Chains A and B, each alone.
Chain A
Amino acid sequence: MDSTQVLADTLQKSEDNSSSWIVEHITDSSVLDIEPFGVIHLPSIQFNLFGMDLDLSITKHVVFLWIAAIILLILMRYTASRYKKSLIPKGIANVIEMIVTFIRDEIAAPTIGENYAVKFLPFLGTIFFFILTCNLLGLLPYGATATSNISVTGSLALISFLMIQGAGMKKNGVLGYIKGLIPHGVPVFLIPIMFVVELLGLFTKPFALTIRLFANMTAGHVVILALIGLIFILKTPFISPVSILFALFIYLLELLVALIQAYIFTMLSSLFIGMAIHQEH
């Protein structure tokens, strides 16, 4: 793809031109940059707990997590309230319902099973809409993609991991679950090795979730910023049509990626929950 060539060029240029501004744009910071109107300094909360320095500062990404949460609360409350008036949804409620039934019938039901699907639907629905909203917020002007921060995706994967293990242990019992990690029919001398391998497998799943979401959400932004940066690096305005066209293309791609990544995260969480519940398969 041409954009990778562009990125390579940009990287080469970065040897002499500082392009750390790209990273600055993507990473977390303690200020909200709303440029023509100035900047908002976010409160810093730091305290010492049992000799450990804890930094619970409100950062840009925390703010966007909260914005996403508030948007979701309002949207979902509105959708739910529509059902009180009539069982037939209209407008936005219809879209939300379509997605919810999709998560229920296409993601949860085939992977977890009809009976358990409804039980995990609140978790799966919340994680889908939360990731989707965070992804889309990053595409707005002045927006930041909280899901392009590895701490955020790691936390979400951690919650998903706990949910998977919890579901498995609740269904099969703690000992039964641990026993069930080793597949049937494994020779006795292989059991210790298999146990270690399976245990590692448990942890690689959330790790893969973390990296996948983080990398996908970061990559698009990096490419867009690099394309825009090309104008300044080459110091000519004539490159701007190319930059803008490519950036627009990547932006549209990111719109798709935002949806796909939310779907994949939900799908894989659902799949892992299903695997933890139905260990025999």
Chain B
Amino acid sequence: MFNVHLFLNFILLYSGGEKGGLLDINPGLIFWTIVTFILLLFLLKKVAWKPMLEALKQREDTIRDALEKSQQAKIEAEKILEENKKNLALAEEQTKKIIDEGKEFSNKLKADILEKANQNAKKILDQAKLEIERKKEEALGELKEVVADLTIQATEKLIDESLDKKKHRQLVNKFISTLPKH
């Protein structure tokens, strides 16, 4: 840093001879330095170094503990999250299944009801048809009678001649059977 040669010259210039030179060794000062330093070392060891280093270590341990704990908590949280996701997926699947089942059931029910109703309606229709057929037969029968009677009366009146009733009826019946059915 400084010019060494010059510096050494300077020291040599003032180190020899006269008292109080730069390189003078003073035993008293050596004694006091050693005493002061050793005393300071012991006092500081007791007063400062021990508590300070302990506190430092304690703090480092605390930080390490906290870090480890947080790491663990993170892992646990991730586990829980994973589990939650799984549960959610399971629940969704189940819901879908239930809904599907419901849909299927309702469809079946609907089909059943429709079929039943159709059957019922057909049955009723058939009955009604039969009834109608029957009534028609009946009415037609009645009508035949009435028409026969009326025809007889009318014919009686028209020809004013009373035929043999039996012969007459045969005649009319013959005539009616020639008529179209409806």
Take A23-B20, A101-B56, A130-B40 as given contacts and tell me if A121 and B27 are in contact as well, using a CB distance cutoff of 8 Å: no
How distant is A97 from chain B, measured CB to nearest CB, in Å? Answer: 7
Q: A200–B41 Cα gap in the complex (Å)?
A: 28
Residues 1-18 of B at the A interface (beta carbon under 8 Å) = 1-3, 6-7, 9-11, 13-14
Given contacts A149-B29, A155-B33, contact A11 B52 (CB under 8 A): no
Q: A122-B44, A126-B41, A154-B25 are in contact. Are A4 and B30 (CB under 8 A)?
A: no
Contact assessment for A80 and B1 in the assembled complex, using a CB-CB cutoff below 8 Å: no
Chain A residues closer than 8 Å to B41, beta-carbon distance:
122-123, 126
Chain B min CB distance to A78 (Å): 9
A164-172, A215-223, A240-248, A269-277: which lies at the B interface? A215-223
| A-B pairs under 8 A by CB, number | 160
Contacts of B105 in A (CB 8 A): none
B96 CB to closest chain A CB, in angstroms? 55
- With the chains together, A84 CA to B55 CA distance in Å? 8
Please, how many angstroms separate the alpha-carbon atoms of A56 and B62 in the complex?
Answer: 50
Whether B49 pairs with A121 at a CB distance below 8 angstroms is yes
CA distance A83 to B52 in the complex (A): 7
**Chain B: which residue is nearest A45 at the CB level?**
B28
- Indicate whether B175 reaches chain A with its CB closer than 8 angstroms: no
A77 within 8 A of B: yes
Please name the residue on chain A nearest to B19 by beta carbon. A27
Asked if B52 contacts A76 (CB within 8 A), the reply is yes
Contacts of B3 in A (CB 8 A): 1, 4, 7
Interface 1/0s, chain A 151-164, versus B by CB < 8 A? 11011101100000
Stretch from A33-41, A60-68, A180-188 that touches the partner: A60-68
A56 touches B10 (CB 8 A): no
Which size bracket describes the interface of A in this complex?
A: 35 or more
Shortest CB distance B24–A (Å)? 7
Q: State the CA gap A206–B7 with chains docked (Å).
A: 21
Contact A222 B10 (CB under 8 A): yes
Q: How far is the CA of A257 from the CA of B14 in the complex (A)?
A: 24
Q: Which of A28, A79, A152 contacts B52 (CB 8 A)?
A: A79
A78-109 interface mask toward B, CB cutoff 8 Å, 1 = contact, 0 = none?
A: 01100110011000000001001100100000
- Beta-carbon contact of A150 and B23 below 8 Å: yes
Contact A27 B34 (CB under 8 A): no
B70 cross-chain contacts in A, Cβ below 8 A: none
CA distance A80 to B56 in the complex (A): 10
8 example contacts (A-B, Cβ-Cβ < 8 A) are as follows A28-B20, A62-B28, A62-B32, A104-B56, A122-B44, A123-B41, A125-B49, A127-B37
The 7 A-B pairs with the shortest beta carbon distances in the complex, nearest first, are: A76-B48, A83-B55, A155-B33, A4-B3, A151-B29, A122-B49, A80-B51
13 additional contacts, CB 8 Å, given A73-B44, A80-B55, A149-B29?
A27-B21, A54-B27, A55-B26, A62-B36, A73-B43, A76-B47, A80-B47, A80-B48, A100-B52, A100-B53, A104-B56, A126-B45, A155-B33
